[in-house]
Structure 1
Amino acid sequence: MINTLTSLRFIFAIMVFGAHCYIINDFFNTHFFKEGFVGVSFFFVLSGFIIAYNYQEKLQKSTITKRSFWVARIARVYPLHWLTLFIAAGLGGYVITSGIVDWLKHFLASLTLTNAYIPKADYFFSFNSPSWSLCCEQLFYICFPFLIPLTKNYKRLLYVFGFMAILIFIGMYFTPEENIKEYWYVNPITRFPDFIVGMLLFQLYERLKNKDITFLQGSLFEITAVAVFSGFYFYAAEIPKVYRYSCYYWLPVAAILLSFSLQKGVISRILSNRVFIIGGEISYSFYLIHLLVLQLYVEWQKSSTTQIAWYISIPVLFCTVILLSLLSYYYFEKPANKKIKTMLNK
């Protein structure tokens, strides 16, 4: 386990939380908060890195099978997804517009994590809307074992990425503004290069991890990476959103991931604190639960005569999500993960 990367998951999950707080108050309807959707790009790139870190060598040497890999990913993704999906459905997360058949089609698409392939917001954002990103993760996991032959020579993987990147730049340039979200933000196929970036970063990490990097050098590397990411983040308002949905952030996210994966600097020491690591461990629960909590609060506010200031409600809601995420992780995610692995590996 690379503790710093686990901790970073928590930080970027908080950024996604901040990006959705605009539904509570207009104070959060600014670039600083709403650009937090970059957290999703980070998760996709991180996924490529961590999956390669955990499984590349095992699959290369056939110490695990493709089936075992896929079972592990199913056990990780689906239990909490289905739980939050049923909760969202029970809370009215999707409004029936064309009768029960229409509702069932949307529900089935969400249930099987195929909703993000349908270029309609009422599909990919229906029920618990953050789950659209799980459709992308599912595609990544399906494809990963078949990419293993390319990892024996990183140049082949780099060529594949370069070809995909060129197609993406061309496609983005010619896509009308009103269609960019469905084609470039939520579409699993067009988000696949994010995952490849992570896999490529792992190949670079393998070459750097045993280098004699001093504490000072590691600290400078980390501080520089944070500065680069911050520069991209704050300048992003000047960049067309279609590029910011993925390719614009490849470089700064890669700098963050690579620098902190080495765990050689001062910021890594801070991120190695157990509090941050636990935050990273519960980040999946946090991600899938947070918007349900925010939306419930908004609905309560609509019917309530009591108006609570955002600087009180947001911290309370944040702590509520943290508490629910802890309960989910320790009393649902981990037991369900273990049970499903046991059941499917029989």
Structure 2
Amino acid sequence: MIDTLTSLRLFFALMVFGAHCYVVDSSFSTHIFKEGFVGVSFFFILSGFIIAYNYQKKMEERLVTKRRFWAARVARIYPLHVLTLLGVAVVGNWLTPTGWCEGLKHFIPALFLLHPFVPRMDYFFYFGSPSWSLGCEQLFYFLFPFLALFFKERQRLAGTLLVCAVAVPVLMSLTDEANIRGYWYVNPLARFPDFLVGMLLYQAYGWCRSKQLSFFTASLLEVGAVCLFLLFYLASEDLVPKVYRYSCYYWIPISLVLLIFSLQKGFLSRILSNKYLVIGGDISYSFYLIHLWIILAYVQLAKTYDCHISLYISIPLILAVTIGLSLLSYSYFEKPANRVVKRILNKQQ
């Protein structure tokens, strides 16, 4: 595993957290916070890179079967997804005796991560959960064993992405405002190019890591990559329509950040290699699935008891609770469940 990229997961998870804090206080309705949805694009591209990093050569050399790969992916995403979905359904009274039929109609697609394929908010956001992105990941994971062989030649992958780079913005421009979220933000087919970008990055990584970079040069590149990302991020509100910012607008800055930090040769990489930041990256999956629960629970409690707590207390409190629960989830549920599910699925071969 590349420690710097693991640590970056924490920072982008915090950006997603900030994007959702507007429900706590209107101060978070500004662009600098709400643009945090870019964290989702980061995770999709990172997923393509890391999956290729861990499995591309193994697939090419037939060292890992498709079934074993899929078992590992199911074990990774499903246990915590099922737990959080059931928790939301029960706590939110989504499956009440009087409304069970309507609730079940949405629960079953969400359970099998099919809900983001339905371009309607009452499906992909029905349970108020970010699990729609797992539906995208599920598609990527299903296709990867085939993609690893089909895109063995990087020219083929680069050509495919070049076609996407032309076709995606054109199709986005033809989509009316009311449908852009359903068609371009949550739709797994629309987010598929993000994953391909990550796969191509792995090909570039194989070339770049053989190059000799001094500590000073690598540090300049790292600072430059961060500055470029921030430039794209901060300048986007008035210049770029939101539909492009959902994915393709951020391909270049995110890719540069991932590629340069994957080399782990500069002073920012040394900071990101700190073990506590790496742990933060390790718990980012739990953090991602849990954080919206905590935010919405806080808002509901505040309304119920008519309690108005200062923003400078409420947000740190919500963040601390989320991090604490994420640590517990990662250590005592996510990792053990991962091992158990993999053992069960691999025994069935």
TM-score by length of 1: 0.98
Structure 2 CA distance for aligned equivalents of residues 169 and 179 of structure 1:
15
- The equivalent of 2:175 in structure 1 is 175
Using the TM superposition, give the Cα deviation of residue 151 of structure 1 relative to its aligned residue in structure 2, in angstroms. 3.3
Q: Is the 8 A contact 2:180 2:243 kept in 1?
A: yes
What pairs with 1:198-217 in structure 2 (closer than 5 Å)? Answer: 198-217=198-217
Q: Which deviates more, 52-61 or 305-314?
A: 305-314
Q: Is the 8 A contact 2:89 2:95 kept in 1?
A: no
**Corresponding residue SS for 2:151:** helix
Task: Say whether residues 1:241 and 2:210 are aligned partners.
Answer: no
Task: Say whether residues 1:257 and 2:255 are aligned partners.
Answer: no
- The equivalent of 1:165 in structure 2 is 165
Structure 2 CA distance for aligned equivalents of residues 14 and 93 of structure 1:
28
What pairs with 1:131-142 in structure 2 (closer than 5 Å)? Answer: 131-142=131-142
**Corresponding residue SS for 1:130:** coil
Structure 1 CA distance for aligned equivalents of residues 229 and 277 of structure 2:
20
Unaligned runs of 5+ in 1: none
- The equivalent of 1:312 in structure 2 is 313
- The equivalent of 1:196 in structure 2 is 196
Q: Is the 8 A contact 1:2 1:261 kept in 2?
A: yes
Q: Is the 8 A contact 2:94 2:100 kept in 1?
A: no
Structure 1 CA distance for aligned equivalents of residues 94 and 205 of structure 2:
43
Using the TM superposition, give the Cα deviation of residue 327 of structure 1 relative to its aligned residue in structure 2, in angstroms. 0.2
Using the TM superposition, give the Cα deviation of residue 92 of structure 1 relative to its aligned residue in structure 2, in angstroms. 1.4
Q: Which deviates more, 196-205 or 87-96?
A: 87-96
Q: Is the 8 A contact 1:85 1:128 kept in 2?
A: no
Using the TM superposition, give the Cα deviation of residue 310 of structure 1 relative to its aligned residue in structure 2, in angstroms. 1.2
- The equivalent of 1:35 in structure 2 is 35
Using the TM superposition, give the Cα deviation of residue 230 of structure 1 relative to its aligned residue in structure 2, in angstroms. 0.3
Letter in 1 for 2:14: I
Using the TM superposition, give the Cα deviation of residue 186 of structure 1 relative to its aligned residue in structure 2, in angstroms. 0.2
Using the TM superposition, give the Cα deviation of residue 213 of structure 1 relative to its aligned residue in structure 2, in angstroms. 0.9
Structure 2 CA distance for aligned equivalents of residues 149 and 337 of structure 1:
27
- The equivalent of 2:26 in structure 1 is 26
Using the TM superposition, give the Cα deviation of residue 153 of structure 1 relative to its aligned residue in structure 2, in angstroms. 1.2
Structure 1 CA distance for aligned equivalents of residues 332 and 131 of structure 2:
21
Letter in 1 for 2:173: Y
- The equivalent of 1:339 in structure 2 is 340
- The equivalent of 2:267 in structure 1 is 266
- The equivalent of 2:295 in structure 1 is 294
- The equivalent of 2:109 in structure 1 is 109
**Cα displacement string for residues 111-155 of structure 1 (whole angstroms, at most 9, x for unaligned residues):** 000000001101001214200000000000001111112332101
Using the TM superposition, give the Cα deviation of residue 165 of structure 1 relative to its aligned residue in structure 2, in angstroms. 2.7
Letter in 1 for 2:255: A
Structure 1 CA distance for aligned equivalents of residues 281 and 12 of structure 2:
9
Using the TM superposition, give the Cα deviation of residue 95 of structure 1 relative to its aligned residue in structure 2, in angstroms. 8.1
- The equivalent of 1:12 in structure 2 is 12
> What is the root-mean-square deviation in Å for CA atoms of aligned residues?
1.4
Using the TM superposition, give the Cα deviation of residue 222 of structure 1 relative to its aligned residue in structure 2, in angstroms. 0.4
Q: Which deviates more, 12-21 or 142-151?
A: 142-151
Q: Is the 8 A contact 2:59 2:149 kept in 1?
A: no
Structure 2 CA distance for aligned equivalents of residues 192 and 95 of structure 1:
32
TM-score by length of 2: 0.97
Using the TM superposition, give the Cα deviation of residue 91 of structure 1 relative to its aligned residue in structure 2, in angstroms. 1.4
